[in-house]
C-alpha cells in the first residue's frame, strides 16, 4: 500500500543536476554549490564528566520538517546528549549564506530507532530529527527522495553507481582535518553476499545494511561523514532525474592497518544503514 502522500513527496524531492562522476569525499573533490540541497550539517554536543564535547555529523532533509541521520550521531554509551544544532542550505561551513537555516533542536525531537543498541556492531543505526518549524523549500534547501518505487529492486546487481557526501575528514587518520566544504564521492554498491564475504558475517547485517567500495582512488567516507546520505540517482520519469537516499553512513569495518591511528582508506568497504528496511518506521514519524 502506498503512503497517502507518496505522490506529493516525489514531486518535491530529489531534484538535482546529474552529478559529476569525478567528484568524491576523502581525498577528493568538492561538490558544486547547491548540488545536494538536502544536505544537513549536525553539530552534536555530548556531556562527558561535566565537559561538553562537540562532534560533526551529516544528515538528509527528507520532508519540510524532518532530517534523517545515524543513531550513533545522537546516542552515546558513555555520555549524555547535551545539544543538537542543524544547519540547512550550507555548502562552505565558514561562509554564511542568506538562505541558510540554523536550528537548535529540542532533545525530545531527536527520535532514535527503538531497537538501536550503541553497544552492538550491527543494525538499527538510524534516527529522525524533527525540526522546530516547517520550512519552505527553495533552490538551496530541498528534500531528497525516500526510496519509494522499488528503487532498490536491483541492489544485488553489483556495479550500481551510488554517491556519498559529507564534511568529514580529508586525511586517513583520526586527527585528520575536517573539510569546511561539502565533498562527494562516487562509489559502487556491492551485493549483500559480497559485503558478507569482504566484511564478515559477524560484522555485517544483511537485513538492515548496505556496503560500497569506492571508485578510482581516494573517495571514501570518513569521520564527520557519519549520518550523511548514500544516494542513488534514477530517472523518475522520461523527463526528470531524481536522487534517492538509499543509505545512511554508519561505520567502517575493522581496520586492517598496522597504524592504530589510521582509519578510512583501508581498502575495506564502507557500511551504510539500508533506508528501505526502515521506510515504514520513517513514514510513521513523518505522518504524525
Mean pLDDT calculated for residue range 130-143: 95
Question: What was the pLDDT predicted at 121?
Answer: 76
Q: Which residues contact 77 (CB under 8 A, 6 or more apart)?
A: 118, 119
Residue 258 to residue 99: CA distance in whole angstroms = 45
Complete domains list, the chain, with CATH:
38-142+279-287 (2.40.10.10), 144-276 (2.40.10.10)
Supply 139's cell numbers.
533552490
Average pLDDT score, the chain: 82
Hey, which residues are catalytic here? 72, 125, 226
When computed from its CA atoms, the radius of gyration of the chain, rounded to whole angstroms, is 17
pLDDT score of 262 more than 50: no
State which of 9-13, 61-65, 121-125 shows the largest mean pLDDT. Answer: 61-65
Mean pLDDT calculated for residue range 240-258: 77
Banded pLDDT at 223 (limits 50, 70, 90)? low
Banded pLDDT at 276 (limits 50, 70, 90)? very high
Question: In the chain, pLDDT over 90 holds for what percent of residues?
Answer: 46
Question: What was the pLDDT predicted at 258?
Answer: 43
Mean pLDDT calculated for residue range 99-114: 95
> Under a CB-based contact definition with an 8 Å cutoff, are residues 279 and 6 in contact?
no
Residue 47 to residue 45: CA distance in whole angstroms = 7
Could you report how far apart the first and last alpha carbons of the chain are, in Å?
18
SS3 107: helix
**183-193 residue pLDDT tens:** 888 888 999 89
Amino acid at each position: 500500500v502506498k503512503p497517502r502522500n507518496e505522490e506529493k513527496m516525489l514531486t518535491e524531492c530529489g531534484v538535482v543536476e546529474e552529478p559529476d562522476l569525478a567528484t568524491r569525499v576523502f581525498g577528493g573533490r568538492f561538490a558544486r554549490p547547491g548540488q545536494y540541497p538536502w544536505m544537513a550539517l549536525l553539530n552534536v554536543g555530548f556531556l562527558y564528566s561535566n565537559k561538553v564535547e562537540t562532534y560533526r555529523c551529516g544528515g538528509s532533509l527528507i520532508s519540510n520538517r524532518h532530517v534523517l541521520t545515524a543513531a550513533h550521531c545522537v546516542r552515546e554509551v558513555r555520555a549524555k546528549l547535551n545539544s543538537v544544532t542543524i544547519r540547512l542550505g550550507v555548502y562552505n561551513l565558514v561562509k554564511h549564506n542568506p538562505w541558510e537555516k540554523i536550528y537548535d533542536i529540542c532533545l525530545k525531537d531527536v527520535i532514535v530507532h527503538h531497537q538501536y543498541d550503541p553497544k552492538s556492531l550491527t543494525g538499527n543505526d538510524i534516527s529522525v530529527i524533527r525540526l522546530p518549524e516547517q520550512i519552505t523549500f527553495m533552490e538551496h534547501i530541498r528534500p531528497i527522495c525516500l526510496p519509494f518505487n522499488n528503487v532498490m529492486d536491483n541492489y544485488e546487481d553489483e556495479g550500481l553507481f551510488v554517491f556519498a557526501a559529507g564534511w568529514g575528514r580529508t586525511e586517513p587518520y583520526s586527527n585528520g582535518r575536517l573539510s569546511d566544504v561539502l565533498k562527494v564521492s562516487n562509489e559502487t554498491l556491492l551485493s549483500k553476499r559480497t559485503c558478507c564475504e569482504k566484511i564478515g558475517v559477524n560484522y555485517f547485517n544483511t537485513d538492515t545494511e548496505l556496503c560500497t567500495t569506492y571508485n578510482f582512488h581516494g573517495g571514501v567516507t570518513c569521520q564527520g561523514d557519519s549520518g550523511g546520505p548514500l544516494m542513488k540517482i534514477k530517472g523518475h520519469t522520461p523527463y526528470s532525474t531524481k536522487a534517492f537516499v538509499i543509505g545512511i553512513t554508519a561505520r567502517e569495518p575493522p581496520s586492517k592497518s598496522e597504524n592504530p591511528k589510521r582509519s578510512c582508506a583501508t581498502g575495506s568497504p564502507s557500511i551504510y544503514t539500508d533506508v528501505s528496511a526502515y521506510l515504514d518506521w520513517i513514514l510513521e514519524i513523518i505522518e504524525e
